Amino acid sequence: MRICVIVTTYNRPDALAAVLDSYLAQDDRDFELIVADDGSTDDTRRLIAAYAQRAPLPLRHVWQEDRGFRPAAVRNRALAATEADYIVFSDGDCIPPSDFVSRHRALAEPGYFLSGNRILLSATFTARVLRERMPLQAWGPLRWLMAWALRDINRWLPLVRLPDGAFRKRRPGLWQGVKTCNLSAWRADLVRVNGLDESYSGWGLEDSDLVIRLLHAGIKHKSARFAAPVFHLWHRENDRSRLADNQQRLDEILTSRRTEALVGVNQYL
């Protein structure tokens, strides 16, 4: 199974460097990595080029012009740029543990998409992690428990590892709370629903739309909780001024049986 990890970014090279360090330190390096760049400046381009020169795996940069918050579009461009069988979506401010890719690989199953969760870092701890280049992917349970005690992270329970089992399919129709910072699916299923819907404008709900359309297409939810968390670096909230419009679009897809994005990946294929 060929895996491609697609990581979105926008003008935060210090966070992206921490994320790339973690992907280059994965215990499973048999995957392709694409940085899906929503219009960053040359600082990010130079960073990715430097990492690509020393990476032990294929690392590519897919860039689009900066025309506002458009992660759906750049994810679609990255999806079109790979021929991998299986896609893992995440973000350039989400550091994966060293077994992140191998856990998604182990849990992947035809007819299902996987959704994991995240652990939120505080603002002060995030600044320290980036300043000191702390290798969070290599931390063990005791260090994380100490970080939780110091309120550096919001919770430690997602770090518990549980094997595959029937409990992971207990809620096959779940879409609430599923986010593209930790989501994986078969590329063929993503293409079948026309990828992410670029008609969503600004921050919010384009990931929920994708998941609902996958469910409409018969692809079921499987939980990757207690297997593959990510460590989410703190940042200020994005502009949510278009959230009401996006909510209206999501309400429409919820009351329909539509599977395909109105403006999706097929324009790049």
46: left (phi over 0), alpha (psi -120 to 50) or beta: alpha
Q: pTM for the complete prediction?
A: 0.96
* Nearest alpha-carbon partner for 179 in 115, 108, 95, 119: 115
- pLDDT band, very low/low/confident/very high, at 139 (cuts 50, 70, 90): very high
Average pLDDT over every residue of 82-109: 98
Q: What is the CATH number of domain 3-267?
A: 3.90.550.10
Measured at the CA of 157, the angle between CA 151 and CA 163, to 5 degrees, comes to 155
Asked if residue 224 has pLDDT above 70, the reply is: yes
CA–CA separation, 85 and 105 (whole Å)? 11
Domain layout of the chain by residue ranges: 3-267
pLDDT reported for residue 202: 74
The count of C-alpha atoms lying within 13 angstroms of the C-alpha of 169, restricted to the half-sphere facing its C-beta, is 12
Mean pLDDT of the chain: 95
